[in-house]
Every structure is written in structure tokens, then in C-alpha cells.
């Protein structure tokens, strides 16, 4: 990994016809919703004083216990900033912490290669982002197996086609057949090629992060991506209270490019936090704030996303759970803290522990999505495909989630009152014991009034039986298959497409086939 990314980019840019800039892309127009602007109030589960109490406890943890930053450069930067540093332990006083956190913009634009797919993150805006990181897929034949590049491409295609998804994520599943050192190139390539929505960066090493930026530079322009957010990258704090070298390396690359990171502790509540929902939130908040603050040492004013991944663990087996009541409750607390700090906030929507797209998955998924929406989450991740605590991405689950998101998009858009007068006139017209199917109001509104999912089946039992008595999981797989059959690629300009391929070829020449 010794080829500087900049050199490769330069070569690729030349081949693609000079500085490429950001271009509107050709390709088939496909329905895609703009940023969801929430029109419903947020729900706060506890009073402001309780939020303040948690906040103060979080700051005390960072002052008294501190947080590990396992990287020399990071430690030097914290020292220079005036933190109390001892070896890799950084104790941050509350004034310094909050001063740094306050530099983060409360909203920003996340740019897509198709400007019509660019979205706003923060404030009243919410976006839905598919899952990330599954080594396994549950495939179109309902077999659980390792993910492949073909699977990943399929999920990027589905993400492109799902109107309520605002991002293509990146590693929706791992293309396990590609050697690890080269894998990131093909992941980013697939996301950029098969969809025109925002995507997510690679964080597993500094070089891979730089390769991501190089590829983004080919698509958006090298200058453009020095300052304009075109991707989001996830960095997880290792709870309790450790930011490790790999994460810090990724932060350096992305934050210095003004690319937003998600600063999200990965907390198995009860194991890597105390067995207290409120205690877990206080700890995770401290961890997230420490990460957010560090990004502002790297690039003050850079857009960042405060976040959390918090699941409770089964205290008998240690297994992570998914859509449990406490996970929802903790979301409301995190959302309240994010609002207090005026930070864009990421949580997870449809993440579940279920192995299958079955009843468990459904109960878990909507336990959490309802909370994510009402808590006012901005970056609602893991909103499609997630099964088995993230180990598996399911085609059926992906299609199901995409459809459900359309309903949630409508839900968060609020209750329309604009046709209320006409609706009341319809009641006067119909009177007792009539029906409304023929009224003018109904004829004008029947398509838009109510969400009508297609994978869910509301037909009569007899009709459903005549159609094969299929369960939801089966119908979800059929839907995914049908969507893929209809896919048309939103093609990259030829020069850009060639530039990306050249860069990959150049990088692959230098990269080993296995991790040494």
C-alpha cells in the first residue's frame, strides 16, 4: 500500500479527460424521494432535567476517567489543545469539550453524484440508509451463505431503485471472494457505478480511506471532495472509552477532507456498558462527544454526525439482541442529547437479531424505526436488509424494509390538513349509512390518502391461498427478484467510468492478495 492515492487519482483523472468536476449523470429517471423533512414533533421520553443530568455525568466521565486515543498524532493534538494527557489517556475538561463540539455545523448537505439525489443531514431532516458490513447474505433462494460481489452489486441496485432510500451505503455485504487488501476498491466502485445516491467510505485503514477519497475525486472532482461532503464514514468507539488507531486513522483522512464521520460507540449494553439504560447512554454520550471533539481538532467546522449503536445483550448468554424496548428508550435519550448539542444524529432503524425475515424481525424492526422517527434521528442507518445482529443481509428483508420506508416517509411527513374541508363536505354529501367510494373527494385522493404496501398481503384468505399461500418472506424475495429484473444502470460518464477502472487496476497491481 505504498502508492500515494493522489498519484493514482491524477493518472485516472487524465485518462478520464482532465478535471472532471461534479456532473449530473445520465441514466434512467427513477422515483426517488427528496430528503425527508419531518413535519411531526419529536418525542422526548424524559424531562429536560434528566437530559441535563445525563449530559453532566458524561462530562464528568471525560474529565475524571477520560478516554483512550491510541494514536501518537491524536495524542499530540490533544496535548496541544490543552487536554490532560497521560500516555494514551485523554481527560478533557468540559469547557474544552463543549467548545470543540460547538464548532460542528448543525446541518450540512451530503452531495450525490446525481445532484437530484443530494440530501440534507441534521435539523428536521432525516435520511434512510441501508445496512453495512454483513459477511453473509440470505439469498434469493433463502440460503444463507457468504456474500459475493454480485450480491453487493445487487444490493446497490436495489438501493438505487428504492425511492425512500437516500444512500447506497457501501459494504452492504462483504464481497468475500475478493482478497481483503483489494476488496475496498470493488465495494466503492460498485456503490458509485450502480447507484447515483450518496455512499459511505471505507474505514479499515488509512490507505483504504485515501483510496475511497481518490475514487470520489474521480467522480466529483479532486478539488471538490477536499471541501464538499460526498460520503459518510463510520467510526466506532470501542466501548468502554477507547478510540483505536484504525478509527483515528480513518478520521484523519475523512475529516481533513471535510467529509462527515459518524462518531458512534458500538455498545453491547450490559457487557460493554453498565446494566442500566440510562448509565449506558451517559457512557456512550461521553464516548461519542470525545470522538466528535477530536474531529474538530482535525478540521474545525467540519460536518460530523453524533451517533450510537446500542443493543442490549441477553444477560444469560451474552448474545446481542435487536429491537428491544430499552434500545428504543435509549434512542429517545440520545436524540434529546443530540438536539441539546445541535448535532446531526445517527441511529439505526430496522436492525434486528432475527436470523430470518420472520415475525421476530418485524416486531424488532418497527420497535426501533418508530423510535428513530419520533426521536428525530437524522441519519437512520441499517434501514434495509439487516438480519442476525448485522451478520447477514437478506434480500427479502431488504425489499421489505424498502417498502416499509415508504410508509415511514409518509408517516413522518405528518397529517395533511389541506383537504380537510373537502373531506368534511364529503361526510355531509354521504350522510349516514352511505359509502364514500364515489365521492369527488375520494376520487381525487384515493391514491395518495393511504399507504398501500405491495409485499404485505391484504387480500382475502381465499385469494391469498389461490396465489400460493406465500408468507411475507417469500413475497419479499419475489419482490427483490422482480426489482432486479427491472434495474437499469444510472450510467457514469464514460470518462469517469474508465477513470475508476484504471484507478482500481493501478491500485490492484500494487496490493497483495492477502493480509500479511
Per-position x/- string for 26-65, each x denoting binding to a copy of itself as judged by CB under 8 A, each - no binding: --------------xx-xxxx---x--x---x--xx--xx
Q: Are 108 and 119 in contact (CB under 8 A)?
A: no
d(CA 8, CA 5) in angstroms, rounded, equals 5
d(CA 229, CA 8) in angstroms, rounded, equals 21
- Residue 15 binds to a copy of itself (criterion: CB under 8 A): no
Residue spans of alpha helices (H) in 19-148 = 48-64, 72-81, 94-101
Cell representation of residue 396: 427479502
Residue 261 has φ and ψ, to the nearest 5°, of: -100, 150
Taking CB under 8 A as the criterion, the residue among 152, 255, 305, 333 binding a copy of itself is: 333
Q: Say whether 177 sits in a helix, a strand or coil.
A: coil
d(CA 486, CA 145) in angstroms, rounded, equals 25
Q: Say whether 438 sits in a helix, a strand or coil.
A: coil
**Nearest distance from residue 130's CB to a copy of itself, in Å?**
17
Q: In the 3-class helix/strand/coil scheme, how is 255-270 assigned residue by residue?
A: HHCCCCEEECCEEEEC
Minimum CB distance to a copy of itself smaller for 3 or for 45: 45
Q: Which residues contact 516 (CB under 8 A, 6 or more apart)?
A: none
CA distances from residue 261 to 17, 23, 244, 281, 337 in whole angstroms, order as listed: 31, 24, 15, 20, 18
Taking CB under 8 A as the criterion, the residue among 278, 297, 484, 497 binding a copy of itself is: 278
Minimum CB distance to a copy of itself smaller for 164 or for 225: 164
Cell representation of residue 146: 457468504
Taking CB under 8 A as the criterion, the residue among 29, 31, 86, 433 binding a copy of itself is: 433
Minimum CB distance to a copy of itself smaller for 2 or for 86: 86
Minimum CB distance to a copy of itself smaller for 457 or for 508: 457
Interaction residues for a copy of itself, span 368-427 (CB under 8 A): 370-371, 374, 388-389, 391-392, 396-397, 400, 404, 407-408, 410-411, 414-417, 419-420, 422-424, 426-427
- Residue 452 binds to a copy of itself (criterion: CB under 8 A): yes
Interaction residues for a copy of itself, span 131-160 (CB under 8 A): 144
- Residue 445 binds to a copy of itself (criterion: CB under 8 A): yes
Cell representation of residue 346: 445517527
Minimum CB distance to a copy of itself smaller for 230 or for 313: 313
Interaction residues for a copy of itself, span 224-263 (CB under 8 A): 238, 240-242
Is the bond leading into 240 cis (omega within 30 degrees of zero)? yes
Q: Which residues contact 427 (CB under 8 A, 6 or more apart)?
A: none
Cell representation of residue 67: 478516554
The C-alpha cell 440530501 sits at 119
Cell representation of residue 274: 453498565
CA atoms within 13 A on the CB side of 182: 17
Interaction residues for a copy of itself, span 335-364 (CB under 8 A): 353-364
**Nearest distance from residue 332's CB to a copy of itself, in Å?**
8
Beta strands in 114-211 (DSSP E): 119-122, 125-128, 136-138, 144-146, 199-200
Minimum CB distance to a copy of itself smaller for 30 or for 456: 456
Minimum CB distance to a copy of itself smaller for 205 or for 274: 274
- Residue 283 binds to a copy of itself (criterion: CB under 8 A): yes
Interaction residues for a copy of itself, span 294-313 (CB under 8 A): 312-313
d(CA 213, CA 240) in angstroms, rounded, equals 30
- Residue 469 binds to a copy of itself (criterion: CB under 8 A): yes
> Residues touching a copy of itself: how many (CB under 8 A)?
127
Q: Say whether 217 sits in a helix, a strand or coil.
A: helix
**Nearest distance from residue 10's CB to a copy of itself, in Å?**
41
Cα angle value 480/486/491 (rounded, 5°):
115
The C-alpha cell 490532560 sits at 84
**Nearest distance from residue 328's CB to a copy of itself, in Å?**
7
Contact window for a copy of itself (CB under 8 A) among 77-85, 154-162, 186-194, 317-325: 317-325
Taking CB under 8 A as the criterion, the residue among 59, 67, 213, 377 binding a copy of itself is: 67
Q: What is the DSSP letter of 199?
A: E
**Nearest distance from residue 429's CB to a copy of itself, in Å?**
9
How many other β-carbons are positioned within 10 Å of the β-carbon of residue 176? 18
Minimum CB distance to a copy of itself smaller for 29 or for 316: 316
Minimum CB distance to a copy of itself smaller for 12 or for 62: 62
Is the bond leading into 119 cis (omega within 30 degrees of zero)? no
Minimum CB distance to a copy of itself smaller for 18 or for 41: 41
Taking CB under 8 A as the criterion, the residue among 29, 141, 143, 458 binding a copy of itself is: 458
Taking CB under 8 A as the criterion, the residue among 460, 485, 515, 516 binding a copy of itself is: 460
Minimum CB distance to a copy of itself smaller for 148 or for 366: 366
**Nearest distance from residue 302's CB to a copy of itself, in Å?**
25
Interaction residues for a copy of itself, span 86-105 (CB under 8 A): 89
Cell representation of residue 409: 416517509
**Nearest distance from residue 337's CB to a copy of itself, in Å?**
13
Amino acid at each position: 500500500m505504498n502508492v500515494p492515492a493522489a498519484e493514482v487519482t491524477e493518472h485516472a483523472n487524465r485518462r478520464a479527460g482532465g478535471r472532471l468536476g461534479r456532473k449530473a449523470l445520465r441514466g434512467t429517471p427513477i422515483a426517488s424521494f427528496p430528503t425527508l423533512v419531518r413535519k411531526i414533533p419529536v418525542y422526548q421520553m424524559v424531562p429536560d432535567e434528566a437530559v441535563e443530568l445525563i449530559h453532566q455525568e458524561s462530562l464528568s466521565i471525560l474529565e475524571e476517567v477520560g478516554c483512550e486515543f491510541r494514536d501518537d498524532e491524536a495524542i499530540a493534538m490533544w496535548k496541544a489543545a490543552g487536554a490532560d494527557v497521560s500516555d494514551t489517556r485523554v481527560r478533557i475538561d468540559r469547557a474544552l469539550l463543549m467548545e470543540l463540539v460547538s464548532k460542528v455545523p448543525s446541518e450540512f448537505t451530503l452531495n450525490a453524484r446525481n445532484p437530484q439525489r443530494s440530501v440534507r443531514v441534521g435539523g428536521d431532516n432525516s435520511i434512510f440508509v441501508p445496512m453495512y458490513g454483513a459477511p453473509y447474505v440470505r439469498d434469493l433462494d433463502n440460503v444463507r451463505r457468504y456474500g459475493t460481489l454480485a450480491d453487493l452489486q445487487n444490493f446497490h441496485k436495489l438501493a438505487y431503485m428504492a425511492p425512500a432510500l437516500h444512500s447506497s451505503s457501501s459494504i452492504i455485504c462483504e464481497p468475500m471472494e475478493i482478497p481483503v487488501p483489494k476488496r475496498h476498491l470493488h465495494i466503492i466502485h460498485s456503490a458509485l457505478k450502480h447507484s447515483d445516491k450518496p455512499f459511505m467510505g471505507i474505514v479499515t485503514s488509512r490507505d483504504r480511506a485515501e483510496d475511497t477519497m481518490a475514487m470520489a475525486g474521480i467522480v466529483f472532482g479532486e478539488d471538490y471532495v477536499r471541501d464538499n461532503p460526498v460520503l459518510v464514514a463510520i467510526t466506532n468507539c470501542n466501548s468502554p472509552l477507547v478510540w483505536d488507531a484504525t478509527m483515528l486513522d480513518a478520521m484523519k483522512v475523512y475529516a481533513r477532507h471535510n467529509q462527515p464521520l459518524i462518531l458512534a460507540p458500538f455498545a453491547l449494553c450490559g457487557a460493554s456498558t453498565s446494566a442500566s439504560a440510562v448509565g449506558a447512554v451517559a457512557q456512550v454520550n461521553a464516548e461519542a462527544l470525545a470522538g466528535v471533539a477530536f474531529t474538530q481538532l482535525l478540521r474545525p467546522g467540519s460536518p460530523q454526525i453524533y451517533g450510537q449503536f446500542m443493543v442490549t445483550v441477553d444477560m444469560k448468554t451474552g448474545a446481542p439482541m435487536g429491537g428491544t424496548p430499552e434500545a428504543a428508550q435509549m434512542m429517545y435519550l440520545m436524540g434529546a442529547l443530540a438536539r441539546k448539542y445541535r448535532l446531526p444524529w445517527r441511529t439505526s432503524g430496522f436492525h434486528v437479531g432475527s436470523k430470518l425475515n420472520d415475525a421476530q424481525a418485524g416486531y424488532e424492526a418497527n420497535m426501533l424505526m418508530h423510535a428513530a422517527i419520533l426521536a428525530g434521528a437524522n441519519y437512520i442507518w441499517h434501514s434495509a436488509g439487516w438480519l442476525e445482529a448485522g451478520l447477514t443481509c437478506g434480500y427479502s428483508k431488504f425489499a421489505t424494509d424498502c417498502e416499509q420506508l415508504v410508509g415511514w416517509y409518509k408517516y413522518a411527513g405528518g397529517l395533511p390538513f389541506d383537504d380537510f374541508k373537502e373531506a368534511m363536505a364529503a361526510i355531509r354529501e354521504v350522510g349516514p349509512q352511505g359509502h364514500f367510494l364515489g365521492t369527488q373527494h375520494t376520487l381525487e385522493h384515493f391514491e395518495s390518502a393511504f399507504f398501500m404496501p405491495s409485499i404485505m398481503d391484504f387480500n382475502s384468505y381465499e385469494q391469498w391461498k389461490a396465489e400460493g399461500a406465500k408468507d411475507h418472506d417469500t413475497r419479499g424475495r419475489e419482490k427483490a427478484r422482480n426489482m432486479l429484473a427491472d434495474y437499469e444502470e444510472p450510467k457514469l460518464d464514460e470518462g469517469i467510468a474508465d477513470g475508476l477502472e484504471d484507478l482500481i487496476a493501478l491500485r490492484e497491481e500494487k496490493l497483495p492478495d492477502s493480509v500479511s
